[in-house]
Amino acid sequence: MSERPVFSVVEGAAQLARIPSFISSRIVKYTYGTGAGWPIEKVRSHPKISEDHIKKHKYINDINNKEYVGRCFSVFANKDEELKVGQVNYCNIYYVLNIKY
């Protein structure tokens, strides 16, 4: 048994950090994403967005005069998904200025 167990753990971690390919991926603990306003056409084709949500959060963008729905969520990575080191995930995000609810 080591006389300094904490030092042994730190030394082991430091040795593993020198091996660049030791960790190749991780499983994400949560779903990650961002809130966004989506064009109404996209929202209507989405199976998980209800008509109640659409009615409550629908608005007209005063820049392009088109309908959008606020408080939608664009996912980058889902819970329990494996992400490789260096992997980049993209999602379509619609940024809308001058939102009026």
pTM above 0.75, yes or no: no
Give the C-alpha separation, 72 to 3, whole Å.
55
Q: What is the pLDDT of residue 35?
A: 87
Contact 83, 50 (CB under 8 A): no
Q: What is the pLDDT of residue 1?
A: 58
Q: What is the pLDDT of residue 56?
A: 96
**Run of H or E including 41:** helix 40-44
Low-confidence ranges of the chain (pLDDT < 50): 96-99
φ/ψ of residue 100, rounded to 5: -125, 120
Domain boundaries, the chain: 26-84
Q: What share of the chain is helix, strand, coil (3-state, %, to 5)?
A: 25, 30, 50
Give the C-alpha separation, 89 to 80, whole Å.
15
